[in-house]
Amino acid sequence: MSCYPCWLKQDYTEFIANLRANLLDMVASYPGKEVVVAEVGNDYTKVQNTCDLLVATQPAVPQGKGLGVFCWEPEGAKSWRGCQLNAWGDDGRPSPVLNAFLNTPPAKPAPARLARKHR
């Protein structure tokens, strides 16, 4: 599956629900098979938006059937490939977009408990 909300002129937050619905359909149509979001791309100049897109795409893979999410040609710097959908900065270094793959959901805080007095 591919994920390019920028080509549809959509904000990724609108796109994710459709992506999840398609992935659920694929999982239901092919029982026992895993799915991959093989291409996720966005304008390299929109660093935070692209990072957020990648973070949002990862849990869209349903029911533990996801093999992975891949950023489209992250090393394809515009300066030498002309690719607008990458994760490389104009300075020739990886951009913070790739931090999307380092993020883990924050742990939920444990519920507050009242201290019990021992008798």
Confidence (pLDDT) at 29:
93
Task: Please state the separation of Cα 90 from the chain's center in Å.
Answer: 22
Phi and psi at 70, nearest 5°, equal -125, 135
Confidence (pLDDT) at 110:
45
Q: Tell the residue number behind the tokens 């619905």, with chain if given.
A: 21
Amino acid at 56: A
Whether residue 116 is contained in a domain is answered as: no
pLDDT single digits (tens) 100-113: 888 554 444 444 44
DSSP single-letter state for residue 101: G
Confidence (pLDDT) at 25:
92
Taking the C-alpha atoms of residue 31 and residue 89, their distance in angstroms, rounded to an integer, is: 40
Whether residue 118 is contained in a domain is answered as: no
119 residues of the chain, pLDDT tens digit each: 888 888 888 788 888 888 889 988 998 999 888 898 999 888 888 889 989 999 888 887 777 888 888 888 777 766 566 678 888 887 878 888 888 888 554 444 444 444 445 44
Domain with 87, as residue range(s), is 2-101
Q: Which helix (H) or strand (E) holds 53?
A: helix 47-57
Taking the C-alpha atoms of residue 50 and residue 57, their distance in angstroms, rounded to an integer, is: 10
Q: Which of 2, 72, 74, 85 lies closest to 43 in space, CA to CA?
A: 85
Confidence (pLDDT) at 82:
67
End-to-end CA distance of the chain: 61
Whether residue 107 is contained in a domain is answered as: no
Q: How many domains does the chain have?
A: 1
Confidence (pLDDT) at 80:
60
Distances in whole angstroms, Cα of residue 51 to Cα of each of 68, 75, 83: 16, 15, 17
